[in-house]
Amino acid sequence: MSTPLIKSIDCVRLYVADLEAGLAFYHDQLGHEIIWRTPTAVGLRLPDSEAEIVLHTERQPPEIDLKVDSAPAAAARFEAAGGTIIVPPFEIQIGQAAVVQDPWGNTFVLLDTTKGLLLTDADGQVIGNAPPET
């Protein structure tokens, strides 16, 4: 048997028209702690997991991001196994990502953290990247 491709769930991205309204619901009412924040997105902690809920104001359907060691290598392996690459690997703040679809039409994002996780200030504002894990 080969090594599993997917390491963990990175996040579930959800659209909200207004971040403050989204925070009023997910943070204030449902109790999820703010991890990081940018002008258009906010990451909220799932307490029993390293995965996050990410609220964002870019109108897109819900998205599942799956963490892999290398997005380009994972996309190639995914395609070789019979999946489809919808969007080839591209740069993101924390590394690279690719959008893929399995043979049954399930679409998700494969991403890596080769540039390091987000670094925040005391207020949770993103100020850069932490050094990548080696």
Per residue, the 3-state secondary structure of 84-110, as one string, reads EEEEEEEEECCEEEEEEECCCCCEEEE
CA atoms within 13 A on the CB side of 41: 17
CA 74 – CA 24 distance, rounded (Å): 37
pTM: 0.81
Least trusted range by pLDDT, from 39-43, 52-56, 57-61: 57-61
**Secondary-structure breakdown of the chain: helix, strand, coil percentages, each rounded to the nearest 5:** 15, 40, 45
Residue-level pLDDT at 134? 58
Distance CA 76, CA 79 (A): 5
Interval 59-78 mean pLDDT: 93
pLDDT above 80: residue 117: no
Q: Which of 9-23, 72-86, 108-122 has the lowest mean pLDDT?
A: 108-122
Question: Which segments of 10-85 does DSSP mark as H helices, in order?
Answer: 19-23, 71-80
Half-sphere exposure of 96 (CA within 13 A, CB side): 14
The pLDDT, as a whole number, for residue 125 is: 76
Residue 124: predicted pLDDT: 74
User: What domains lie within the chain, and their CATH numbers?
Assistant: 8-129 (3.10.180.10)
Give 1's pLDDT tier (boundaries 50, 70, 90): confident
